[in-house]
Amino acid sequence: MTRLRWLPLAILVCLPLLLAAGDKDKDKEKGKKDFFPPIERLDPAFDELVGKDAKLQKLAGGFAWTEGPVWVKKGGFLLFSDIPNNRVMKWQPKKGISEFLKPAGYLGDRTDFAEPGSNGLLIDPDGRLVLMEHGNHCVGRLKLGQKLADQEVLADKFMGKQLNSPNDGVFARNGDLYFTDPPYGRMIKGKGFTFPGQQLDFCGVYRLSKGKKLTLLTKEMSKPNGIALSPDEKTLYVGNSDPEKAVWMAFPINKDGTLGKGRLFFDSTKWINKKKGLPDGMKVDSKGNLFATGPGGVLVFTPKGKHLGTIATGVNTGNCCFGGEDGSTLFVMCDKAIARIKTKTRGLGF
């Protein structure tokens, strides 16, 4: 009885020490999770785009592989793909994370696909969500709030053969959709980079007209991935996520919408195995600069291909997008997490 009487007093004495120790552990853990490498500044022009005091801030984690972000202006929130978990997630200021759509890229019952979900997400000129769907091997469209089963399939075949697994896309002002079609959605768990069931013997870059006419623009790239248009829509940028040829290409767009001969925009092959990541998703700002995910994080290029600096992440980085109230916040998909950084520029379209 005496020992029990002293117990509350002992707890009161020890509680502050226990709480302090717990706070230290939390701070230590938070430091580990939220830490990003220093930003790499290679040219003074970089400081005009990303301020010297800007820092990459983690917003949420615990995902399998984050990709395909898009800022939804009407509603003020971010959508992004968690590909292996076959879902689209939502992040909203002051509200945080919630699940937006599941399933999101595969409606079947197979469980052996490594990356069955959606990849690139876009908002079309009419405010509808367009998804690059790995497991369904198609480009789909639905109204915000609809289920995937209710979607309209915009493209799933070329010349009678199933698409590989649409990856990323960009809309032109006239409503045409340019998208890439590497085979990553065909990967099987534990089988590495093999793509069983692939019907096309190439990986294409396509243009889907507003009238749903699908045109192959080029098949010269081994693993076309991220894609973006210059502000004047005279140049199409495409990243190639092949460790043997980790490059970004720039293609002139002819008046009839076809592509001219591509030129090498930037070659990062020398960094493979030295920095994490491959050329992946990218966005263009209002001045025509490219913010392209690749080896090391988000590489920032001038329209002529000069590398100004890198927003380093230290992890495989899949994509990025501009958003926020004025379009000056860059959201970055950092492997199993998402992050943001305030810039001094604005995304194209803001």
Question: Rounded CA gap, 157 and 163, in Å?
Answer: 5
Spatial neighbors of 130 by CB under 8 A, at least 6 apart, are 121, 122, 123, 124, 139, 140, 141, 154, 169, 177
- The tokens for 170 are 């960009």
The residues spanned by each domain of the chain are 37-342
Superfamily name with CATH number, domain 37-342? TolB, C-terminal domain (2.120.10.30)
For residue 157, what is the enclosing H or E element? strand 157-158
First CA to last CA distance, the chain = 71
Residue 269: phi and psi, rounded to 5, are -55, -35
How many other C-beta atoms are found inside a 10 Å radius of the C-beta of residue 210?
13
Residue whose structure tokens are 């000069």: 306
Q: Which two tokens stand for residue 204?
A: 């294409």
* Average pLDDT per 10 consecutive residues for the chain, totaling 350 residues: 38 40 41 74 98 98 98 97 98 97 97 97 97 98 97 98 98 97 97 94 97 97 98 98 98 94 98 97 98 98 98 98 98 98 98
Residue 44: enclosing H or E segment and its boundaries?
helix 44-47
In angstroms, how far is CA 303 from the centroid of its own chain?
Answer: 21
Counting Cβ atoms within 10 Å, is residue 20 exposed (0-12), middle (13-18) or buried (19+)? exposed
Taking the whole predicted model, whether its pTM rises above 0.85 is answered as yes
User: Alpha-carbon distance 137 to 102, whole Å?
Assistant: 16
**Residue count (the chain):** 350
22 within 8 A of 29, measured Cβ to Cβ = no
- Determine the Cα–Cα distance for residues 45 and 61; give it in Å rounded to an integer: 32
Q: What is the pLDDT of residue 21?
A: 43
- Residue closest to 238 by CA, chosen among 219, 256, 255: 219
Query: 161-188 burial, b for 16+ CB within 10 Å, e for fewer?
Result: ebbbbbbbbbbbeeebbbbbbbbbbbbe
